[in-house]
Structure 1
Amino acid sequence: MVETAQGKTAARRADAQRSIAAILQAAVEALSRNPEASVSEIAKIAGVGRVTVYGHFPNRGDLVDAALAHAIEQGEVSLDDVDLTGDPREALTRLIDSSWQLVDRSRSLLQAAQSVLPPSRIRALHASPAERVQKLVERGRDEGVFRTDLPTEWLVGVMHSVMHHAADEINADRLAADQAAGYIAATVLAAFSPISSPSAEPRS
């Protein structure tokens, strides 16, 4: 059976998609272990040549950008299973715990991204996770358990900053990874609590 030009094109596209998927997964794996992992190391893990990597990602910065986006997208799938119903403070604690597990696994990848990407791009890549937090914060504000004197976007940014600060502290050996989720929850819940009420404490 003679293969048509259209069929060949479709096969090439499928090969390219498989190659990109392998490269992205290899990049996430390599950069999560070592933020300075080279394109050559990533190519080796992916089972392709450096030329193939550069054919899809013109430079290392583009590859790091795509790897972080891929890791966040994978993380979003697991966060879909987090129960965000009930008391907003308890729901936020659950979300922080699950989100931190993802951040902790990709601390080195985030470090790599921070070295080559501007803060605005890193924030843009976290837009989807931020939206999840924003909806929960807005519900908490409506129910009177989260403060309303500051914009929702500011509160979401505070949580984002606290989580990333925790990652920096662990990288600097000033915080144990197993303590981070509790520290983050305590800090964020205190920051989110209405001024007129006692700061809520995270449940153990």
Structure 2
Amino acid sequence: MGDTRERILDVAIEVLGKNSGASMGDVAVAAGVVRRTVYGYFPSRSDLVRALTERAVDEIAALLADGATGDDAADAVWADFVAGLWPLVHRYRVLVALRRGEFGEDIHALLGGVEKSLADLVRRGQDTGAFGRHLPAGLLSQVAWSAVFAIADDDLPDETVGAAAPTLTTLLLLGVPEPRAQALIRGRP
């Protein structure tokens, strides 16, 4: 049963990625199941979007947790996080569009833990001098985090913009000097 649920989620992210207004019936057809099966796992479109968001948040949080376990500098952790985040952002890019609509509050609430962890990372970077203090840590992390989604939202489906572009952009927004940011993108300085 879990395999069917996961397959529906995999298909839903593709179907909604092509058409954020796709119906539960569209998802069912693409998954090769009847609508009743989709509704059995997800009683409403809202439940489906919530499950997709929870999956995305789990993957993003795991990425962030991987980088937070070492003693690496905050700017290096951020660079690794954004580079790892880039493919996930493309996979779940429909959530950016859905966040602007009726599901916005739910999606934002589910991302709360990730956003707190990012603010903590930026605060740590500010304390060590790796990041600028031109904005409070919470706001600065939001600006940099949002830039990744803004870039992905305008990127072409064939991912012509690689991970280096959002990584460099966010490091510069965080106040990392360009030579250091470039070195972080090329690998450990």
**Alignment TM-score, normalising by the size of structure 1:** 0.71
- Identity rate of aligned residues, in percent? 30
Q: Which sits farther off after the overlay, 26-35 or 129-138?
A: 26-35
Count of residues in correspondence between the two structures: 182
**Residue 175 of structure 2: aligned partner:** 193
| 1:100 matches 2:86 | yes
Where do residues 175-186 of structure 1 align in structure 2 (5 Å cutoff)? 177-186=159-168
Q: Which stretches in structure 2 are left out of the alignment for 5+ residues?
A: none
Higher-Rg structure is 1
User: Shift of the alpha carbon at 1:149?
Assistant: 4.4
| Residue pair 2:148, 2:170 contacting (<8 A) in 1 also | no
TM-score, L = length of structure 2: 0.75
Partner of 1:86: 72
CA deviations 1:150-173 (Å, max 9, x no partner) are 2211011112210111122115x8
In 1, distance between residues paired with 2:163 and 2:173? 15
Q: How does 1:13-92 map to 2 (within 5 A)?
A: 20-82=5-67, 85-92=71-78
- CA RMSD in angstroms comes to 3.0
Residue 202 (structure 1) aligned with residue 160 (structure 2): no
2:107 counterpart letter in structure 1:
I
Gaps of 5+ in 1: 1-14
Q: Distance in 1 between matches of 2:48 and 2:182?
A: 38
Q: Which residue of 1 aligns with 2:113?
A: 128
Are the aligned partners of 1:90 and 1:202 in contact in 2 as well (CA < 8 Å)?
no
Inter-partner Cα distance in structure 2 for 1:66 and 1:114:
17
Q: Answer yes or no: is the 8 Å Cα contact 1:32–1:107 preserved in 2.
A: yes
